[in-house]
Structure 1
Amino acid sequence: MNPNRLEPIEAAKQFISIYFPYCQGAILAGSVVRGKATETSDLDIVVFSEDTHSSYRESLIFSGWPIEVFVHNLVSYKDYFESDRKRARPSLPRMIAEGVSLKNEGILEAIQEEAKQILATGPELWSVETIKIKRYFITDALDDFIGSNNRAEELFIANILAELTCEFILRTNRRWIGASKWIVRSLKEYDEAFTDQFVEAFDLYYKTGQKSEVIEIVDKALYPYGGRLFEGFSLGK
């Protein structure tokens, strides 16, 4: 961390006082709140202002800190809650539920409770048809992975296979998913021991080219739902 810049909460409070002095509420979220900040971490700030006509996101530098600010009015955040719930990536609910209050004119408690309820309820359960579709596309990627002898192509197939399999494991167990670093974080929240096995299998492949552990772990994920799927599958018929 840069020793010359303000502490995260103090910097965030000063930012709010200058840029959003008339807002009704503001929350500092992200890695600095979770105690997992790195040298490149920014300040994620959610602002609630009744003067805001439409939601927006903006990236700024303030007092040496990169800041991502997410601005909502007192209603617009609900649409984002619903969108995040449907896509099973609770970005805004998580920020609000885990965040630290920077300013509160009596509105944050109810909004944070909404966010916590969404997180506790979890995403929608996948339908049988959705599971079949996902099994097919995982099988397709796995077959490509097994049959490929082109290292460059394999690397990208492996990336897709890892992401599809993580999504399948989490959604079939009605757990939230994520993107980028939140993929493995979401998997760890579900089952830390399994996550270790998953990461080790793919890490071994990336280091040595050995595919067997990856194939085994993907098959293990598919097995409770009927295993690989190719023959008889149709879409849009």
Structure 2
Amino acid sequence: MSEFNKLKPIETAHQFINKYFPNCQGAVMAGSVVRGEETYTSDLDIVVFDKSINSSYRESFIDFGWAIEIFVHNLTSYKFFFNLDYKVAKPAMQRMIFEGIILKDEGIIVSIKKEAKEILEKGPERWTEETIKTKRYFITDALDDFIGCKNRAEEIFIANTLAELIHEFVLRTNGRWIGSSKWIIRALKQYDEKFTEEFVESFDDYYKNGEKSKVVHLSEMVLEPYGGRLFQGFSSGKK
């Protein structure tokens, strides 16, 4: 089926559930197509709840002209992933279910959506002062490596590490969820669009021109309210 005549996402999702999971208790379609952010490479993300399965699994299909990725749970196994995502502050499962369009519901989806919404609104567990201190040290260490490095290949990957650490530090110290890959930028934008512009500009300038100064300034600006760089006196695990 070509790009021009394949079924619409919602129609495809309904047909998929009817074909593969006709006896499931509930299903939602999530992902970029639901948010109106799809590209020509986007797939369909479908979360399925089926009480007959023993354990959760993930599977990918090509059907109805679409790439389709499914996340299958019984009526309790999803809670494990809710808890896992909460601990790492990346609520992927919660977002999928909360944002998802209901495809089928035998009286379970509304309550699961409510659970997801409550977790999303609560936000991640707050960092302790000790955790903040440790993260300051990690950023300082990466920043010193970045400033002193003369090897372009190594610099690129130190910059990648700094970007991850800075995004995490800004969001977690402000009680916000973090992301990975494209969700780094999405999570930052949800918090502060102006900061996100500065974040992107700083790293873009480095990657394009090899100019480190904006990344260095950004790193120090983020650390400053919490005491700045940290090396001297830092200790971890000492008894």
| Counterpart in the other structure of 2:152 | 151
Q: Show CA shifts across 1:182-201 (max 9, x none).
A: 01100000000110011001
Give the SS at the match of 1:45.
Answer: strand
Shift of 1:108: 0.6
Question: Is 2:220 the counterpart of 1:219?
Answer: yes
Distance in structure 2 (CA, Å) of the matches to 1:22 and 1:50: 9
| Counterpart in the other structure of 1:23 | 24
Distance in structure 1 (CA, Å) of the matches to 2:219 and 2:124: 22
Q: Show CA shifts across 1:86-115 (max 9, x none).
A: 110000000000000001111110000110
| Counterpart in the other structure of 2:6 | 5
| Counterpart in the other structure of 2:116 | 115
Give the SS at the match of 1:3.
Answer: coil
RMSD: 0.9
Q: Show CA shifts across 1:45-80 (max 9, x none).
A: 000011111011111111111111000011111111
Query: Pairwise mapping of residues 62-81 of structure 1 onto structure 2 (< 5 A)?
Result: 62-81=63-82
Alignment identity in percent?
65
Which residue type is aligned with residue 106 of structure 1? G
Query: Pairwise mapping of residues 179-218 of structure 1 onto structure 2 (< 5 A)?
Result: 179-218=180-219
Give the SS at the match of 1:57.
Answer: strand
| Counterpart in the other structure of 1:43 | 44
Shift of 1:2: 1.5
Give the SS at the match of 1:89.
Answer: coil
Question: Is 2:95 the counterpart of 1:99?
Answer: no
Poorly superposed stretches of 4+, deviation over 6 Å? none
TM-score by length of 2: 0.98
| Counterpart in the other structure of 1:173 | 174
Give the SS at the match of 2:103.
Answer: strand
Structure 2: give runs of 5+ residues left out of the alignment. Answer: none
TM-score by length of 1: 0.98
Give the SS at the match of 1:106.
Answer: coil
| Counterpart in the other structure of 2:55 | 54
Give the SS at the match of 2:16.
Answer: helix
Distance in structure 2 (CA, Å) of the matches to 1:230 and 1:65: 51
Shift of 1:150: 1.1
How many residues are aligned here?
Answer: 237
Distance in structure 2 (CA, Å) of the matches to 1:210 and 1:87: 32
Shift of 1:218: 0.7
Distance in structure 1 (CA, Å) of the matches to 2:80 and 2:158: 35
Q: More displaced, 88-97 or 227-236?
A: 227-236
Give the SS at the match of 2:48.
Answer: strand
